[in-house]
Structure 1
Amino acid sequence: MRLLKVATCNLNQWSMDFDCNLKNIKESISKAKESGAVIRLGPELEITGYGCEDHFLELDTVNHSWECLKDVLLGDWTDGILCSFGMPVLKGSERYNCQVLCLNRKIVMIRPKMWLANDGNYRELRWFTAWKQKDQLVDFQLPNEISEALSQKSVPFGYGFIQFLDTAVAAEICEELFTPIPVHADLALNGVEVFMNASGSHHQLRKLDNRIRAFISATHTRGGVYMYSNQQGCDGGRLYFDGCSCVVVNGDMIAQGSQFSLKDVEVVVAQVDLDAIASLRGSISSFQEQASCKTRVSSVAVPYSLCQPFNLKLPLSSPLKISYHSPEEEIAFGPGCWLWDYLRRSGASGFLLPLSGGADSSSVAAIVGCMCQLVVKEIANGDEQVKADAIRIGHYTNGQFPTDSKEFAKRIFYTVFMGSENSSEETKTLAKKLADEIGSWHLDVSIDSVVSAFLSLFQTLTGKQPRYKMDGGSNVENLGLQNIQARIRMVLAFMLASLLPWVHSKPGFYLVLGSSNVDEGLRGYLTKYDCSSADINPIGSICKQDLRTFLRWAAIHLGYSSLAEIEAAPPTAELEPIRSNYSQLDEVDMGMTYEELSVYGRLRKIFRCGPLSMFKNLCYRWGGSLTPSEVADKVKYFFKYYSINRHKMTVLTPSYHAESYSPDDNRFDLRQFLYNARWPYQFRKIDELVNELDGQKVPFKESSDHEKKGSTSDGVGGMGVVAAGSGNPKAGH
């Protein structure tokens, strides 16, 4: 038997904080060595942090990376252990995303990434060059300072593997695993037994299974040890990197780290028998045949043994059941951990949330409550870093620290119900009940006097007094009266966040949390610069359907029973007067259901459908209950309001990224914000197709995610170009 112990890591790195990152790297090496591991793998670009973005274009970033690597190599950190470090490297005039493989205080090889991630949230081609020379390793001259310190002038650079005396090891960097022809295929045929994948992979709801299936597939028919390391935490942007570092052998998961955690360093260790890999490969005839005519991959010979001989005191790691979180748990723990990282690194003393008692703001409150529960739990488990951060943020003295999540929430979380004459007693009561369950410092504020002051000023200026539609006013008046309430709440929220800590003799400031969801962003169903405008938004990329499921789950599993009542209530902005014969409802205001919005969003973004393609898809999806003409009306109505309100996405509050159809203009959804809202060419094509299909019904059952609605008062047949206004308000309590 050839026994090999390996260690892979979840590291909570912070972009551009080299001290923090180097500390975590050293701690992970120490833990790996203590466990007896002889290979240690860290995340992609771990020295700089993955999310540096345009900082990668600065020479300082590259130079500081070399300085940190030198610090590691001048100590005993790499003695007896192969370590793979992620960092940017300049070779001539090209910048590469590299894994630097080190052993016994020397750099053994530098492996540049060959296939770069350049879609969705990723822009690696903006900062790096892909390595294209697959047929050779070249000689790389080390920077003078590094060369002198290590007494090493050059190092092999490029695509290849390391041939030890008893096994072969190679790197496969993040995106390379997911390409149509992954590099591990050729490497396996060349005898590589251990694959090290350093990754910077972000959390997205229901995404983890895709990643794990790729690890299993890589080794199920080819054999091998697949080590995966990932960043875990918020490294400075909208993404949460969700860890789950693991080790897979011959298609079996044998070690798995956490997906969500407040730990800065988590090391996952496994012991494997490499003879099991040789046995599997030797038993597969097709593997033998393909290996006999393989494309040769260059290697670096290292006269060093990594394996240990047979020893009963060194037990093998056994296959285990893969751990997955439910989507409801992902919503609780992902944004919860992201909020904690943001809070402890921002210098803020807590959060302030405008809490309306509706589903969206209540979801945000529950996520903050979950964060407080996680903090108390980790402190109880002995995490000294979490404890130190909590003591600092919560301003504990005399050796005290958080032991109760509600008590901790009272110190770091303000909730404010900003009611008006249009608010119901129900939502006010539910907001207070939820705040009490979480433990937040809750305030009840009436904004009527401020609204009245603005309207009085307007009347003085113009001599006119706007009225709600139900009182005889026009659509313009009705919208203006709603928007002023929403914007007043935004101004009040920021004032309270900056001054309430002073009132309570607390240092620092509070971050304002937003609570608009992904579907409302897509439709533009929010007032520009209302309470959707905040510092950060933990649910801005989560759909309404998932949030409602989360509320039902959180009512039981987080212990906030009021969430069940909140989830059961119909969504309403409460910006118009309450009448016995009228109640304002979000879906009526939008002219479409949240379920429909999710369908539109996925077709528009994930399946890249324009108006005509979306119409064709929905004719099949909804054709069992709607005529082509009715489907066309819905598609036109959506694209009209999507294009009118697209400008709102340019100032959207930075949101936790959790959904693949997010309309976030700033990072993820790169589309223009000025449209011809009539879509004349596209809508004409739809009309032509409708005429061909007139009177037909497609014989398919209506999809369960579609709710047919009655016709809206704002039709689509004769619409003109609509100015990009700030209408379509959303509850901003």
Structure 2
Amino acid sequence: MKNMNFVRVAAANIDLKVADCSHNKRKLLEKINEAWNKGIEIIAFPELTITGYTCGDLFFQKFLLGESESAIKDIMELTSDKDMLIAIGAPIEFNNKLYNCAVIINCGTLIAIIPKIYLPNYNEFYEQRWFNSGVGIKGCEIDYCGNQVPFGTDILMRCQNNPNLVVGVELCEDLWAVIPPSSYLSMAGATLILNLSASNDLVGKSQYRRDLVVNQSARCLAAYAYASAGYGESTTDLVFGGHCLIAENGKLLSESEKYLLQGNLIFTDIDLDIISHDRKKISTFKAENHSNYRDVPFMAYQRHNEVERSYQKQPFVPQEDNEMLRRCEEIFNIQTIGLSKRIQHIGSKSMLIGVSGGLDSTLALLVCVKTCEKLGLDKKMIKAVTMPGFGTTDRTYQNAVQLIESLGVDFREISIEEACRLHFKNIGHDESIRDITYENTQARERTQILMDLANMHEG
């Protein structure tokens, strides 16, 4: 696993109590210890986890802010022996303004505080009543938990022992914006985006949220870990399902159950080499000016050798029947429209195709037939040729004949055995030796026949 450059990432939530920072601290430490025992290197919790998202006007209380800071300080002290990157949501006061922030802890040190940029103030949300936007806050520091800590939206966390692991952070609504901050973060080098969220549940919203996470990971050519608030938040106005998701380059790798009473933790191994490879290969992925961002160093070491993610045995074949049908239709239509354009462009008077009775030639023949139907051409312009040879079985031969006859195309049969034997004689090859020369002689003879027939029939 170490040689393959995987990083183990988790998204989690807790069964919190609103405005009870002491309880929430204990629950966070339980999840952090669980994550540590599973070999997790990076973990994200929902926004405002330390207090609860639904505190309302209690956010204005100095006492709550003090309890929040005290709980974070305790978490720092109790995780000093853990080289994990831990992202926790908390309300932070800066220059007499309140911000909804991600607090980043590593090896017991508070290394960064990142404020939310886009504050929803529509429908069921009214965050602007309590919080200020972090837009434009760059190059700042804040005195928090007795430390001078980088504060702003211009922060990238760079792993000192893995140069391909660069972490960026956004919070909830940031992802729903027209251009999410993660787009700029990824262009500046972030290979993993953490989203600390408190997204409530409405009918159909889970699918939209899932699509947002997966699609943003694809656009950013990055991994994306999304942790949303769950059980324990106030249900006065809203219900929070605790939806957690982890995606990589447009593929959903892990998704949590929703509506659990005890909190949740999902994790998977992110393949940093795939992300690096795709970014080098895709020329439209351009680098943002990195000078606009501050690098904050952190440490995270792999502690397990096994890979904690599943791979499909047939990665290019959809597992669901409906998706399989849709994919097959798309493949068929792409081939048909490509052939249609070519036939019209070069003015071919016929299409020559060798039909063996196998899957490949069957598909090719069906594409030819569909092309004729699309262009309104006589199917007799398709000249299907079966060319039995030394290895042709009766089953495949009969399959070819029946297919050609059922489709109503022009049919011709040409045996290649005599021509191949003459070729063997000319080059001095023993027909009983079934080597690559034996195999390729038959393939080349079939190709020659089809090309000559195409010349004869202007195909």
The bucket for the TM-score relative to the shorter chain is 0.5 to 0.7
Secondary structure (helix, strand or coil) at the match of 2:122 reads coil
1:2 matches 2:5: yes
Query: Which residue of 2 is the match for residue 314 of structure 1?
Result: 307
Indicate if the aligned counterparts of 1:270 and 1:317 stay in contact, CA closer than 8 A: no
Distance 1:131 1:232, change over 3 A: same
Secondary structure (helix, strand or coil) at the match of 1:195 reads strand
**Counterpart-to-counterpart distance in 1, 2:204 and 2:81:** 37
Secondary structure (helix, strand or coil) at the match of 1:43 reads coil
Indicate if the aligned counterparts of 1:186 and 1:295 stay in contact, CA closer than 8 A: no
- Residue of 295, 298, 312 corresponding to 2:293: 298
- Residue of 132, 146, 159 corresponding to 2:135: 132
Distance 1:78 1:11, change over 3 A: farther
Query: Which residue of 2 is the match for residue 260 of structure 1?
Result: 259
Please list the CA deviations of residues 395-441 of structure 1 after superposition, one character each: whole Å capped at 9, or x if unmatched. xxxxxxxxxxxxxxxxxxxxxxxxxxxxxxxxxxxxxxxxxxxxxxx
Code of the residue aligned with 2:90 in structure 1: it is M
Secondary structure (helix, strand or coil) at the match of 2:183 reads helix
Code of the residue aligned with 1:158 in structure 2: it is G
* 1:653-664 map, 5 Å: none
* 1:62-77 map, 5 Å: 62-76=65-79
Please list the CA deviations of residues 580-609 of structure 1 after superposition, one character each: whole Å capped at 9, or x if unmatched. xxxxxxxxxxxxxxxxxxxxxxxxxxxxxx
Indicate if the aligned counterparts of 2:215 and 2:250 stay in contact, CA closer than 8 A: yes
Distance 1:73 1:53, change over 3 A: same
Q: What TM-score comes out, normalization by structure 2 length?
A: 0.64
Indicate if the aligned counterparts of 1:8 and 1:246 stay in contact, CA closer than 8 A: yes
**Counterpart-to-counterpart distance in 1, 2:34 and 2:310:** 18
1:215 matches 2:213: yes
- Alpha-carbon shift at residue 179 of structure 1 (Å): 0.3
Query: Which residue of 1 is the match for residue 23 of structure 2?
Result: 20
Indicate if the aligned counterparts of 2:12 and 2:265 stay in contact, CA closer than 8 A: yes
Distance 1:318 1:52, change over 3 A: farther
* 1:421-432 map, 5 Å: none
Distance 1:8 1:283, change over 3 A: same
Secondary structure (helix, strand or coil) at the match of 1:63 reads helix
Indicate if the aligned counterparts of 2:175 and 2:182 stay in contact, CA closer than 8 A: yes
1:163 matches 2:141: no
Query: Which residue of 1 is the match for residue 171 of structure 2?
Result: 173
Query: Which residue of 2 is the match for residue 616 of structure 1?
Result: none
Indicate if the aligned counterparts of 1:198 and 1:228 stay in contact, CA closer than 8 A: yes
Distance 1:66 1:207, change over 3 A: same
- Alpha-carbon shift at residue 243 of structure 1 (Å): 1.3
Query: Which residue of 1 is the match for residue 46 of structure 2?
Result: 43
- Alpha-carbon shift at residue 43 of structure 1 (Å): 0.7
Distance 1:315 1:203, change over 3 A: closer
Distance 1:322 1:295, change over 3 A: farther
Q: How many residues align?
A: 308
- Alpha-carbon shift at residue 118 of structure 1 (Å): 1.3
* 1:323-722 map, 5 Å: none
Secondary structure (helix, strand or coil) at the match of 1:51 reads coil
Please list the CA deviations of residues 84-114 of structure 1 after superposition, one character each: whole Å capped at 9, or x if unmatched. 1111011121111111100111101000111
- Alpha-carbon shift at residue 196 of structure 1 (Å): 0.4
Please list the CA deviations of residues 48-102 of structure 1 after superposition, one character each: whole Å capped at 9, or x if unmatched. 0000010001111111100111111121366211111111011121111111100
Indicate if the aligned counterparts of 1:38 and 1:82 stay in contact, CA closer than 8 A: yes
Please list the CA deviations of residues 687-706 of structure 1 after superposition, one character each: whole Å capped at 9, or x if unmatched. xxxxxxxxxxxxxxxxxxxx
Query: Which residue of 1 is the match for residue 453 of structure 2?
Result: none
Secondary structure (helix, strand or coil) at the match of 1:86 reads strand
Q: CA RMSD in A?
A: 2.2
Q: What TM-score comes out, normalization by structure 1 length?
A: 0.40
Distance 1:315 1:17, change over 3 A: closer
1:85 matches 2:88: yes
Code of the residue aligned with 1:195 in structure 2: it is I
Please list the CA deviations of residues 468-503 of structure 1 after superposition, one character each: whole Å capped at 9, or x if unmatched. xxxxxxxxxxxxxxxxxxxxxxxxxxxxxxxxxxxx
Query: Which residue of 1 is the match for residue 396 of structure 2?
Result: none
Higher strand proportion: 2
Please list the CA deviations of residues 257-288 of structure 1 after superposition, one character each: whole Å capped at 9, or x if unmatched. 111222x221111112111111111111111x
Distance 1:296 1:178, change over 3 A: farther
- Residue of 201, 204, 218 corresponding to 2:202: 204
Give 1 or 2 for the bigger CA radius of gyration.
2
Please identify, of 161-170 and 61-70, the stretch whose mean Cα deviation from structure 2 is larger.
Answer: 161-170
Secondary structure (helix, strand or coil) at the match of 1:221 reads helix
**Counterpart-to-counterpart distance in 2, 1:296 and 1:307:** 30
Secondary structure (helix, strand or coil) at the match of 2:284 reads helix
Indicate if the aligned counterparts of 1:51 and 1:235 stay in contact, CA closer than 8 A: yes
**Counterpart-to-counterpart distance in 1, 2:223 and 2:279:** 12
**Counterpart-to-counterpart distance in 1, 2:175 and 2:233:** 23
Higher helix proportion: 1
Structure 2: stretches of 5+ with no match in the other structure:
321-459
**Counterpart-to-counterpart distance in 2, 1:113 and 1:177:** 11
**Counterpart-to-counterpart distance in 2, 1:115 and 1:306:** 33
Sequence identity (%): 25
- Alpha-carbon shift at residue 27 of structure 1 (Å): 1.2
Code of the residue aligned with 1:15 in structure 2: it is V
Indicate if the aligned counterparts of 1:2 and 1:307 stay in contact, CA closer than 8 A: no
Distance 1:106 1:28, change over 3 A: same
- Alpha-carbon shift at residue 322 of structure 1 (Å): 12
- Alpha-carbon shift at residue 315 of structure 1 (Å): 4.2
**Counterpart-to-counterpart distance in 2, 1:24 and 1:77:** 17
Distance 1:296 1:217, change over 3 A: farther
- Residue of 34, 58, 61 corresponding to 2:61: 58
**Structure with bigger RCO (C-alpha 8 Å, 6+ apart):** 2
Secondary structure (helix, strand or coil) at the match of 1:32 reads helix
Code of the residue aligned with 1:183 in structure 2: it is P
Code of the residue aligned with 1:285 in structure 2: it is S
